[in-house]
Amino acid sequence: TDHETPKIETLRTLNDLVRRGLVYYLGVSNHEAHDIIEFLELSERYNLEKFSVIQDLYNLLERQVERYKLSIARRFGLAIMAYAPLAHGFLTGKYVDFNNKTWKVDELTRISLNERLKTRYFRDSHLKVLLTLKEIADEKDATISQISIAWLLKRGEEFNVPIIPVIGVTRLEHLDDNLNAIKIKLSYDDMKKIDEALGNA
């Protein structure tokens, strides 16, 4: 967040870029909720182009967006672009031995070398969540990745806010897998089961 430049100056510059056809849509990323509201209210007051989207960290395990920003998006008619929708690969299930219901982390992988991510994700409560996702995925002949993305899309329906997962893949088959998540429909019972597994996770 730029605390030095007045917000109205930023908005007028962005407005000029849109009017000149150099930019089609505006978005805001990783700003505090009160800053986003101030930007949007200034846009309305001075008849300037407003943001179309809020981009922020959002996935099944990291739901801070739900505290304020989803409400802001609904109020002002914005979409949410959710980055890290699979929690850096954690919500694919690749770090779980499902037969033994334990963690499985190969040496010299990105996650094994990143203490911050290991501390953030490798918890007993998160293992419970992944086991639940696996159960639902098996019932629907889907992958855990697809269930995780379908959960985000369903949250968008529940909040009446378009949610666009920002997916990043290393293989083409992963892209196909992620895109097919749109075909997965989670029921009320599915969402309730996931919510119960999340608990205080």
pLDDT over 70 (residue 90): yes
In a domain, 42, yes or no: no
b/e string for 99-111 if b means 16 or more Cβ within 10 A? eeeebeeeeeeeb
Compute the average pLDDT of residues 108-112. 65
In a domain, 112, yes or no: yes
What is the dihedral sign for C-alpha 77, 32, 28, 169?
Answer: negative
pLDDT score recorded for residue 106: 73
CATH number of the domain encompassing residue 62: 3.20.20.100
In a domain, 20, yes or no: no
Which domain covers residue 139, as residue numbers?
Answer: 52-198
pLDDT over 70 (residue 180): yes
In a domain, 171, yes or no: yes
pLDDT score recorded for residue 199: 87
Where does the pLDDT of residue 148 fall: very low under 50, low under 70, confident under 90, or very high at 90 and above? very high
Compute the average pLDDT of residues 54-81. 97
In a domain, 33, yes or no: no
pLDDT tens readout for residues 3-59: 789 999 999 999 999 999 999 999 999 999 999 999 999 999 999 999 999 999 999
pLDDT score recorded for residue 112: 66
Q: Please report, rounded to a whole number, the percentage of residues in the chain having pLDDT higher than 70.
A: 95
In a domain, 15, yes or no: no
Q: What is the mean pLDDT of the chain?
A: 93
Contact 73/100 with Cβ under 8 angstroms?
no
pLDDT tens readout for residues 150-165: 999 999 999 999 999 9
Concatenating the DSSP letter of every residue in 160-198 gives T--EEEE---SSHHHHHHHHGGGG----HHHHHHHHHHH
Task: Provide the whole-model pTM.
Answer: 0.91
**CA proximity to 50, closest of 59, 39, 61:** 39
Q: What total of structural domains would you count in the chain?
A: 1
In a domain, 99, yes or no: yes
Compute the average pLDDT of residues 172-192. 95
In a domain, 90, yes or no: yes
Concatenating the DSSP letter of every residue in 95-145 gives TEETTTTEE---TTSTTTT-HHHHHHH--HHHHHHHHHHHHHHHHTT--HH
pLDDT over 90 (residue 200): no
Cα 18 from chain centroid (whole Å)? 27
